């Protein structure tokens, strides 16, 4: 028995280690896992899950145990044996109706209680407002009532309540950061709200949790929780245009290519301080300060920018970004410009 147990626990350890490795390999941010709570709201949800899970385990073992016991205890032993015939047992029937009913009522009550604690009405008043807009297939985040537009990396300060207004101008999405907060639907024509709060600095992966088209699975995002001072510094930086590229540099050439209507970039993208004011794609004013792009399908780095601009449809089939084929030279100049937008 002991040997068996050791074997199983070793197998379990190996399994969870490989799962952890698998999770880490996928993404730099902390696990997308409701069982790894990093906020009070996620903690409450995980606690409720554990409670219901262990109640279910006890019931499962009891019911299956009884089943196995009865199978052996009351099996037919002789060919001419005929079991004693019963017609109902009021006491037993009331008991096996009342106990599950009470259990379910208890779980229901606890669920309503937790929903109240993590619901949109909490916590009231104070806190900073942000707006999150679900697009196909990337997330936009707005600060200062829409004056600052950013994408995919949602920066928030640690230790402060963040009120999130959720909007969509297309189909229904669902805003979900498993280790911080449960899902909230993002519905066109209606403003939903949720809130975020954690005092733990870090990067938490989120994901659209409502099927919204071909690239739904690649509609991810990161909530980047910073110390209030770091958050302020970040917000100050993204409020003003990035530094102008040096004259005659590769980046300056890239800027010209970007602003040239022939490449069509300005039809969909805005860059503050330039003539580009498109609204279909992510605001690129400070694209170089992001950790990832294209709904977090790609990390933000040189090779990925080249890959993306060379053929966005090959990287993310169906993406709204359709562009004329660029030459490698144009791509390199554009990438130099985009990388200068810190």
Footprint of ligand HEC (CB under 6 A):
137-138, 151-152, 215, 258, 263-265, 267-269, 280-282, 284, 287, 290, 293-295, 309, 316, 319-323, 334, 338
Strand partners, 153: 222
Using a 10 angstrom Cβ sphere, with 0-12 exposed, 13-18 middle and 19 or more buried, the burial of residue 165 is middle
User: Smaller CB distance to ligand HEC: residue 117 or 274?
Assistant: 274
Packing angle of the helix pair 328-340, 302-310 (nearest 10 deg): 130
Query: Using CA atoms, how far apart are residues 76 and 66, in angstroms rounded to an integer?
Result: 17
Residue 327 burial class via C-beta count within 10 angstroms: exposed 0-12, middle 13-18, buried 19 and up? exposed
Q: Which of 42, 133, 219, 321 binds Cu ion (CB under 5 A)?
A: 219
Indicate the residue among 183 and 307 with the shorter CB distance to ligand HEC: 307
Angle between helix 328-340 and helix 250-259 axes, rounded to 10 deg: 100
321 binds, options Cu ion, ligand HEC, none, Cβ within 5 to 8 A by partner type: ligand HEC
For residues 212 and 173, the answer to whether their CB atoms sit within 8 Å is yes
| x/- map, 186-215, Cu ion, by CB under 5 A | ----------------------x---x---
Q: How far is the CB of 145 from Cu ion (least distance, A)?
A: 24
By CB under 5 A, residue 335 contacts Cu ion: no
Q: Smaller CB distance to ligand HEC: residue 40 or 278?
A: 278
CB atoms within 10 A of CB 174: 20
Q: How far apart are CA 134 and CA 34, in angstroms?
A: 22
208 binds, among ligand HEC, Cu ion, none (CB under 5 to 8 A by kind): Cu ion
> Of 164 and 257, which CB lies nearer to ligand HEC in the complex structure?
257
CA atoms within 13 A on the CB side of 262: 8
11 touches 5 (CB < 8 A): no
How far is the CA of 47 from the CAs of 44, 54, 244, in angstroms? 5, 11, 51
Give the nearest distance from C-beta 267 to ligand HEC in angstroms: 5
Site for Cu ion in 9-68 (CB under 5 A): none
- 149: partner contacted, choices Cu ion, ligand HEC, none (Cβ within 5-8 A by kind): none
Q: Which two tokens stand for residue 78?
A: 């002789």
- Is 294 an interacting residue with respect to Cu ion (CB under 5 A)? no
Which of the listed partners (ligand HEC, Cu ion, none) does 212 bind, with a CB threshold of 5 to 8 Å by partner kind? Cu ion
* Binding at 334: pick from Cu ion, ligand HEC, none (beta carbon under 5-8 Å per type): ligand HEC
d(CA 140, CA 43): 27
- Smallest distance from ligand HEC to CB 150, Å: 8
CA gap 229, 241 in Å, rounded: 20
Give the nearest distance from C-beta 168 to ligand HEC in angstroms.
14
* Bridging pattern class, strands 153-157 and 162-168: unpaired
State the number of binding residues for Cu ion (CB under 5 A): 4
Q: Which of residues 143-182 bind Cu ion (CB under 5 A)?
A: 173
Binding at 309: pick from Cu ion, ligand HEC, none (beta carbon under 5-8 Å per type): ligand HEC
| Interacting residues with Cu ion (CB under 5 A) | 173, 208, 212, 219
């Amino acid at each position: 028995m002991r040997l068996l147990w050791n074997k199983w626990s070793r197998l379990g350890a190996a399994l969870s280690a490989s799962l952890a490795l698998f999770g880490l390999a996928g993404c730099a941010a902390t696990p997308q896992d409701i069982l790894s709570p990093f906020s009070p709201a996620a903690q409450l949800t995980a606690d409720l899950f554990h409670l219901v899970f262990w109640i279910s385990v006890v019931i499962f073992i009891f019911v299956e145990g009884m089943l196995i016991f009865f199978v052996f205890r009351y099996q037919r032993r002789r060919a001419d044996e005929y079991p004693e015939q019963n017609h109902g047992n009021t006491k037993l029937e009331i008991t096996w109706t009342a106990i599950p009913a009470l259990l379910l009522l208890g779980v229901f009550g606890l669920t309503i209680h937790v929903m109240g604690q993590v619901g949109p009405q909490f916590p009231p008043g104070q806190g900073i407002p942000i707006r999150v807009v679900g697009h196909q297939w990337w997330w936009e985040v707005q600060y200062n009532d829409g004056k600052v537009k950013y994408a995919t990396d949602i920066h928030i300060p640690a230790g402060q309540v963040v009120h999130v207004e959720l909007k969509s101008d297309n189909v229904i999405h669902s805003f979900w950061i498993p280790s911080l907060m449960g899902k909230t639907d993002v519905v066109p024509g209606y403003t939903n709200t949720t809130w975020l709060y954690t005092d733990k600095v870090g990067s938490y992966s989120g994901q659209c949790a409502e099927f919204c088209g071909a690239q739904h699975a690649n509609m991810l995002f990161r909530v980047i929780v910073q110390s209030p001072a770091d958050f302020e510094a970040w917000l100050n930086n993204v409020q003003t245009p990035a530094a102008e590229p040096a004259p005659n540099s590769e980046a300056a050439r890239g800027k010209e290519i970007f602003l040239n209507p022939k490449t069509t970039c300005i039809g969909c993208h805005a860059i503050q301080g330039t003539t580009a004011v498109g609204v279909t794609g992510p605001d690129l004013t400070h694209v170089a300060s992001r950790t990832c792009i294209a709904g977090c399908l790609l990390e933000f780095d040189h090779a990925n920018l080249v890959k993306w601009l060379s053929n966005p449809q090959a990287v993310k089939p169906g993406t709204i970004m359709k562009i004329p084929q660029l030459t490698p030279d144009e791509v390199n100049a554009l990438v130099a410009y985009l990388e200068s937008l810190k």
